[in-house]
Structure 1
Amino acid sequence: MTSTTRYAPRRARPGFFAAPFVLASRAFRPARPGRITDGAIEAAQIARTTVGIAATAWMIYAYPMQESASAIAKDKFAEILISAGVLVVAGPLILALFVLAARTPARAVYLRRLKGPLTGFGALFVSVLALFLLLQDSGGARIAAQFGAFQIVFLLLALLTVLFVVPFGLTAAVLCVHYVFRTADVHEVLPPLISPLLVWAMFGVQYFDSSPVAAPPSVRILFLIGPPLSVTALSVWELRRLRTHFGVTIRSALHRQRPLTR
């Protein structure tokens, strides 16, 4: 009688140009074992994003543009960076309040689960810091001068670092907003609680910004108020679905359920 040993297939290593995107996905995608995942919630989020993209494309097609296509693209990218900045500031504060509000033993569990969000925060911080040191006021050239005869080696390494960090940082900015800085790794109720705060903060930014197209005021108001209202409604529905299908509520997450009375 012979026995055979099965080996798990080795994960293929990404190439240099694909590595920034793969590593950014690993850094910002929630990965806690046992985390509640619901296909209906994920489908609703994808549907909302698809409708939003289609509506934006229709508005740009239907009305004359007041800005160039490149300017519109830059504005949208700037909004993503602002959203990431809002999460960098508000995310740790909300996480701290959530953990402090939780009763034992939940508090100790959530403290251990902070590893996921901290991984995302650390990855984004390191990428931004590296770009700042290398690109701000020719920082890379000034640092290379300190290496004397080996400065060409440093410059080559700095170039490779920039080629890696730029796509990693751009992907990280998008994914940290989409996955709300991996707060689902701490608890499933956190993303629907934080998402409305993010979109209403962006509503305040867009309110004072000029419209990229010459649309009627009613259309502009609809496109301005639509995203925060739809995200808020989706978050409320997500919290309700967590309660009705999985028995998860904010009170239960904090271990503050009211005791049953007979």
Structure 2
Amino acid sequence: MDDPQVRRLQMGRTVLGLAAWVGLTLAYKAVVSAGDVKAAADERLDQSWSSVLVLVCTLPVVVGVFVAAARGGLRRVYLRRAVRPLGAVLAVTASMGTSALAMAPELAGLRAAVGTPGKIAIGVLFVWAVCFALYGIGLSLVHVFRTADIHEVVPPVLAGVLVWEMALLDVVTGAYPQVPAGVRAAFVLGAPVTVTALSWWEMRRLRLHHGLTVRRALGR
């Protein structure tokens, strides 16, 4: 299914979250030097890694429940379709691990031992792994790892589950400590509430314009 409205909604959901984070950072964290900008960017990158790691753990569970709840031959169909999204998860996970290993301090001796050609090869591998991982992060946040390949109702459901998990993670880890408590609560809860509302709108559009619902997708 190719629905421009749904594509714009998915992109808008990601842009809105990024804009809210940038606004919060500029309002409550001094960004007056290149070092401050780098620290803010590193913080956002760490949060993106966390989002992907949570998604890596959540996606198989949600997809597994979805497939198990399907009736008849739909289970086999969804299992075949799940190969590509799950493969994408493994690829991004592997690229994240490769980039980390390529620059790990524990491997400094190995990098020194391989000489200049080896260092160049490791550098190229590192750049490729980082670029691939960043691309995967963008893909996961906008398209939820192309889980629409399984069924069009899966991305909004998975996005809703993921965003509430991330909100819980922010609460547990005490994210945004420099932000006043009231603003922090509004920001942490604003993301899941907004994404849930957008996911509901997406599900409603799928039902009204394309006749797609979770019940029909499960063959019930």
- TM-score, scaled to structure 1: 0.71
Map 1:37-56 onto structure 2 (within 5 A): 37-56=2-21
Q: Residue in 2 aligned with 1:251? A: 215
Which segments of 5 or more consecutive residues in structure 1 lack a partner in the other structure?
1-35, 257-262
Residues 200 and 213 (structure 1), Cα distance of their counterparts in 2 relative to 1, 3 Å cut: same
For 1:74, what is the secondary structure of its paired residue? helix
* Alpha-carbon separation, structure 2, partners of 1:170 and 1:245: 33
Amino acid at match of 2:5: A
Give 2:110's aligned residue. Answer: 142
Give the superposed CA RMSD: 2.6
- Kindly provide the CA deviation profile for residues 125-163 of structure 1, in whole angstroms up to 9, marking residues without a partner as x: 331332344333443753885x7xxx6544432222112
Q: Distance in 2 between matches of 1:56 and 1:131?
A: 26
Residue 195 of structure 2: aligned partner:
231
Instruction: Tell me how far 1:69 sits from its aligned partner.
Output: 3.5
Which of these residues, 204, 207, 210, is aligned with residue 240 of structure 1?
Answer: 204
Is the 2:82–2:150 Cα contact (8 Å) retained in structure 1?
yes
For 1:118 and 1:46, the matched residues in 2 are separated by: 22
1:171 alignment counterpart: 135
Residue 87 (structure 1) aligns with: 55
Q: Which runs of 5+ in 2 are unaligned?
A: none
1:75 pairs with 43, 48, 66, which one? 43
Offset at residue 249 of structure 1 (A): 0.9
Equivalent residue, structure 2, for 1:115: 83
Change (3 A) 1:138 1:93: same
**Which residue is 1:102 aligned to?**
70
Displacement of 1:220: 3.1
Q: How many residues end up aligned between the 2 structures?
A: 215
Distance 1:218 1:251 in 2: 39
Deviation, 1:198, is 1.2
Q: Distance in 2 between matches of 1:46 and 1:86?
A: 20
SS in 2 for 1:108: helix
Higher relative contact order (CA 8 A, sep 6+): 1
Task: Give CA-to-partner distance per residue, 1:57-114, whole Å, 9 cap, x none.
Answer: 44445x3526743332222111111110011111111112211221121111112112
Distance in 2 (CA, whole Å) between partners of 1:251 and 1:201 is 24
Shift of 1:123: 1.4
Does the C-alpha gap of structure 1 residues 48 and 143 become closer, same or farther in structure 2, counting only changes over 3 Å? closer
Deviation by residue 1:188-243 (Cα, 9 ceiling, x = unmatched) = 1111111111111111222343536555x443332222111010011111111111
8 Å contact kept, 2:13–2:142: no
Q: 1:104–1:136: structure 2 CA closer, same or farther, 3 Å change rule?
A: same
Q: Is the 8 A contact 2:14 2:141 kept in 1?
A: no
Percentage of pairs with the same residue:
35
SS of alignment partner, residue 181 of structure 1: coil
